[in-house]
Structure 1
């Protein structure tokens, strides 16, 4: 099961602000949704588990591989513009108080990127062992996110093969595209999953 929380990370257009000195920072990234709280309070049991039919259906259940693949997709979509770390979007990174100001400065974590690499290697290894034993079925929302990430990466690496040097504008375009995919995904699952599976 997936935990269902009234808190969510706002899209970039809502959390990026210009300071008096002209710098751009991100503040107020996490908000508590009153609509979501009302939805959770309206449930008679098992309040904090993600449900189908946008929150009004059954509790959504998955297997461990599906959950880890979903996590990997979200983490991949949170790469920083240079591809050197996972963005610190909001809150307290790693619950380390000395790092509390870093999300506001668009910081990213290299150690989290190393963990993502380790997770992806594990998933590839597990997929080889599981092939033929079971069919992977993902929520349609997660499958769409993965498809968008795949297309963005294919385009990025195809263009990189044709270029002789690193192009920062291309890096930024890739980052913006995967960030758009992540924000669209979050919006579609904010009140629950539709419940449709994709093979």
Structure 2
């Protein structure tokens, strides 16, 4: 079921540019899919970027790649280009974070060409990979907000989409079962 939810999420975000014109007229700021930081039981603030694993090659046809194209004309141009050519990863343009073990790739630069690559299921990008298992013990969600699990206070970061909450909670449960923590 995780894969089904990820596919729904991926393509819903990808097609927003086609169906929700008013969304793009406002200008958008897309938050990360997970909180930037969280607090442990001693109230020490921890960044999700502290547990860098390395670089991951992300297959645009197979992975859950969250990308938010924001300009219709640039999107059309990239659809035409990638539709008749291969997607070519550009290390100076395509930037992304990959979050393990939830296995979500978040693109923050090179959005239009990456969107076309995802749509045509062509190519790969490289992303900096981070282990977010540290969140599992300290953060939970109700599908609307992120919470500190130690004192149940809301975290500042907004939950981008309820499906990310579902993916997060299911991934946390799966991780706990695999590690014998439940």
TM-score by length of 2: 0.28
Q: Which has the higher strand share?
A: 2
Q: Which has the higher helix share?
A: 1
TM-score by length of 1: 0.26
